[in-house]
Structure 1
Amino acid sequence: MKYISTRGQVAPIGFIDAILMGLADDGGLLVPEQIPQVSADTLAQWQQLTYSELALEIFSLYVNGEIPREDLKKLVDDSYSTFRHEEVTPVHQLDGSRYVLELFHGPTFAFKDVALQFLGNLYAYVSRKTDSIIHILGATSGDTGASAIEGVRGKEGIRICILHPHQKVSKVQELQMTTVDDANVLNLAVEGTFDDCQRIIKELFADVEFKHKYHLRAINSINIARILAQTVYYFYAYFQLAKQGQANKISFSVPTGNFGDIFAGYLAKKMGLPVHKLILATNENNILARFVQEGVYQPGDFRGTYSPSMDIQVASNFERYMFYLYGEDAAKVTSLMAQFKAEGSIVIEGDVLKQVQADFAAYSVENEECLNTISDYHAKYQYLLDPHTACGAAASDRLAEDGEAAVVLSTAHPAKFDEAIRLRQISQTYPEPIQALFDKPQFQKVVGGTNEEIQKQLESFF
């Protein structure tokens, strides 16, 4: 298996080189040269596997022997042994057709743990095997930062710097990042939005000389390993429902801001998983929903919401989808992304828009509807949603069809967003690891939102 850039100017590279490159050196995103196809017979065999066994089989398709199978098995087992639930990502049934895929049982109570526990261990493995320096640079709208830090804190040969938008993440998210006092961790609180943080990251990675000089590696979902790891729980959830005789029409409703989590579902479907529908749920920062509904990809005014991890206007994984939408035409993708950079928008129509609408359904959830969904599910099912999952639930309620098994991806534990939940007079008890955060000192630097300021911090840290 080789990996190529969506912009076509990088020679095919292997799995480990793809992980280390992160953002492609031509500014594009790396994708597998061919998507592995999974037969019906293989799906039937995989249905009986544990989560870790399933992850090993799926990763093996993409690693293609670069990591010995026993080493890969140890990486997978070590990564998912840190989860609090034996199934890793259990499926919770609410009623006859509604399900919640709980992705928050990892060490930081967020779905990002599923990929970042693995990627952290993978980076440590590569560092040991190649005697290489790993300097991780990432941006977070809330959950990625804590998960990434937890995945590599204290690991020899690795240093990590995480940018987050100052005072635009939840208090628990902030504490999970900034109470870590390890020498290999630097937290920068950037004056601006997540889009500012993400833009800085992509521009620094696009500076190939700077990237190579400081051995920069990506932890955001621009790194293909993140996407590959997230495909696993789509397969796993499908198998759990199939065991209940629900294999005919299974749809997934995915709260998303950066297009990574739902792109993993799209990739799973292209591999052969018989997904009926992918429902894309956004909050009021609804650039992705507007793209699906109207064919216009254009940032609007930034809106702070109760689901801050989705407060994103420019989705970093959107380019990967465009690559497949346009038949893997790298020249077309390059042209479209140049147009977006110059004009601030991409407009599609006709058969191309029809294909987008065949690939996804989409719904944008207003702030009050998000909170109402939390209240409704708590009253009806005695189940507490975090506000991001509530967006997925609201979209599912609007767009799921009769006779369809609808799986909502629950991306975070509700304790991470108590500020929003208390607005509906719902109280909860914090898990002990989260409660303990409030008594710890914080370690972070507040910095301006310019490339030069971040470069200065990195040069001092790395």
Structure 2
Amino acid sequence: MDYISTRGKVEAIGFIDAILMGLADDGGLLVPKHIPQLSADTLQAWQKLSYSELALEIFSLYVNNEIPREDLKQLVDDSYATFRDEAVTPVRRLHDGMYVLELFHGPTFAFKDIALQFLGNLYSYVSRKTNSIIHILGATSGDTGASAIEGVRGKEGIRICILHPHQKVSKVQELQMTTVEDANVLNLAVEGTFDDCQRIIKELFADVAFKHHYHLRAINSINIARILAQTVYYFYAYFRLADQEQVGKVNFSVPTGNFGDIFAGYLAQKMGLPINKLILATNENNILERFVHEGVYQPGAFRGTHSPSMDIQVASNFERYLFYLYGEDAEAVTAIMEQFKAEGRVTIPADKLQTVQADFAAYGVQNEECLDTISTYYENYNYLLDPHTACGVAAADKLAVDGEVMVALSTAHPAKFDESIRLRDIEQTYPEQIQALFDKKQFQTVVGGSNDEIKEQLVKFF
């Protein structure tokens, strides 16, 4: 399996080189040169596998023996042994036709653990095997940072710096990142929004000389390993419904701001998983909803919402979808992204919009609607949703079709967003691991939003 850039100016590279490169050196994003196609017999055989066994089979298709199977199995087993539920990502029934896929049973109570526990172990493995330096640089709207730090804290040969928007993440998210004392961890609180953090990361990775000199590696979903890891739970959820003889038309409603989680579902579908419909659930920062409905991709005014991890205007994984939308034409993608950089807007033609609307449905959830959904499901089904999951459930309810099964991705434990939960006079008990954070000392540096200020911090740290 080789990996190529969406912009076509990077030689095909193998799996390990792809995860080390992160952002392609031509500014594009790496994708598999071909997408493995799964037969009905393979899907049937996989239905009997545990989560870790399923992950091993899917990763094996993309690693192409660069990592010996026994080593890969150990990486997978170690990564998912840290989860609190034996199923890793259990599927819960809420009511007829509505299920939630719980993705928050990892160490930091967020879906990012599923990819980042694996990627952290993978980086550690590569560092040991190749005697290479791993300096991880990432940005977070809240959950990625904690998950990434948890995946590599204290590991020899690895240092990690995470940027987060100052005072624009939940208190629990902030504490999970900033109460880590390990010397190989640096937290930078950036005065600005997540989009500012993400822009800085992309521009620093696009500075190829700086990237190579300081051995920078990506932990955000620009890293293809993140996407591959997230495809696994779509397969797992579908198989659990098949166990209950609920297969038929299965839809997935995905709360997303960066397009990574739903792109993983798109990839699973292209591999052969019979997903009926992928529903893109956004909050009031609804650039992606507008794209699906109108074919216009244009950031609007930033809005702070009750689902802060989705307060994103520029979706970093959008380019990967454009690559497939335009028939894997790297020149077309390059022209579109250059136009977006110059004009801040992309409009696709009618025939492409028709394809987009065949691939996705979309719904933007308003702030009060998000809270209403939390209240409704708590009162009627005794199930507490975090505000991001509530966006996914609200979109699923809005676009439900009789006779079709809806699976909403539950992306975080509600304890991570108690500020939103309390607005509906709902009291919850924190898990012990989260409660303990409030008594710990914090370690973070507040910085401005310029590339030079971040570079200065990185040079001192790395």
State TM-score, norm by structure 2: 1.00
Give the deviation of 1:290 after TM superposition: 0.4
Distance 1:162 1:264 in 2: 23
2:200 equivalent in structure 1 = 200
1:114 equivalent in structure 2 = 114
Distance 1:237 1:12 in 2: 32
Secondary structure of the 2:375 match is: helix
1:55 and 2:46 are equivalent in the alignment: no
Give the deviation of 1:253 after TM superposition: 0.2
Give the deviation of 1:96 after TM superposition: 2.0
Q: Deviations over 1:300-345 (max 9, x none)?
A: 0000000000000000000000000000000000000000000000
Corresponding letter in the other structure for 2:222: I
1:281 equivalent in structure 2 = 281
Distance 2:299 2:28 in 1: 20
2:451 equivalent in structure 1 = 451
Distance 1:368 1:149 in 2: 33
1:375 equivalent in structure 2 = 375
Give the deviation of 1:57 after TM superposition: 0.1
Distance 1:381 1:331 in 2: 50
Secondary structure of the 1:276 match is: strand
Distance 1:278 1:401 in 2: 13
2:28 equivalent in structure 1 = 28
1:146 equivalent in structure 2 = 146
Distance 1:354 1:51 in 2: 35
Give the deviation of 1:299 after TM superposition: 0.1
Q: Deviations over 1:54-113 (max 9, x none)?
A: 000000000000000000000000000000000000000111211000000000000000
2:343 equivalent in structure 1 = 343
2:237 equivalent in structure 1 = 237
Distance 1:296 1:245 in 2: 39
Give the 5 Å matches for 1:252-331: 252-331=252-331
Corresponding letter in the other structure for 2:277: K
Secondary structure of the 2:95 match is: coil
Secondary structure of the 2:141 match is: coil
1:391 equivalent in structure 2 = 391
Corresponding letter in the other structure for 2:187: N
Q: Deviations over 1:237-282 (max 9, x none)?
A: 0000011111110000000000000000000000000000000000
Distance 2:2 2:93 in 1: 39
Distance 1:294 1:370 in 2: 23
Secondary structure of the 2:31 match is: strand
Distance 2:264 2:100 in 1: 17
Secondary structure of the 1:94 match is: strand
1:226 and 2:222 are equivalent in the alignment: no
Distance 2:168 2:401 in 1: 36
1:11 equivalent in structure 2 = 11
Give the deviation of 1:23 after TM superposition: 0.1
Secondary structure of the 1:189 match is: strand
Distance 2:41 2:369 in 1: 42
Give the deviation of 1:350 after TM superposition: 1.1
2:158 equivalent in structure 1 = 158
Corresponding letter in the other structure for 2:43: L
2:435 equivalent in structure 1 = 435
1:356 equivalent in structure 2 = 356
Q: Show structure 1 runs of 4+ deviating over 4 A.
A: none
Give the deviation of 1:200 after TM superposition: 0.2
Percent identical pairs in the alignment equals 82
Give the deviation of 1:138 after TM superposition: 0.0
Provide the aligned C-alpha RMSD in A.
0.4
Give the 5 Å matches for 1:38-77: 38-77=38-77
Corresponding letter in the other structure for 1:20: L
Distance 1:189 1:413 in 2: 23
Distance 2:288 2:197 in 1: 19
State TM-score, norm by structure 1: 1.00
Secondary structure of the 2:336 match is: helix
Secondary structure of the 1:135 match is: strand
Q: Deviations over 1:113-172 (max 9, x none)?
A: 000000000000000000000000000000000000000000000000000000000000
Flag structure 2 segments of 5+ consecutive residues without an equivalent. Answer: none
Secondary structure of the 1:160 match is: strand
Give the 5 Å matches for 1:171-190: 171-190=171-190
Q: Deviations over 1:346-374 (max 9, x none)?
A: 00131100000000000000000000000
How many residue pairs get aligned? The number is: 462
2:134 equivalent in structure 1 = 134
Q: Deviations over 1:193-241 (max 9, x none)?
A: 0000000000000000000000000000000000000000000000000
Distance 1:350 1:119 in 2: 39
Corresponding letter in the other structure for 1:56: L
Corresponding letter in the other structure for 1:87: A
1:425 equivalent in structure 2 = 425
Distance 2:135 2:69 in 1: 26
1:332 equivalent in structure 2 = 332
Secondary structure of the 2:275 match is: coil
Corresponding letter in the other structure for 1:340: F
Flag structure 1 segments of 5+ consecutive residues without an equivalent. Answer: none
Corresponding letter in the other structure for 1:444: Q
Give the deviation of 1:383 after TM superposition: 0.1
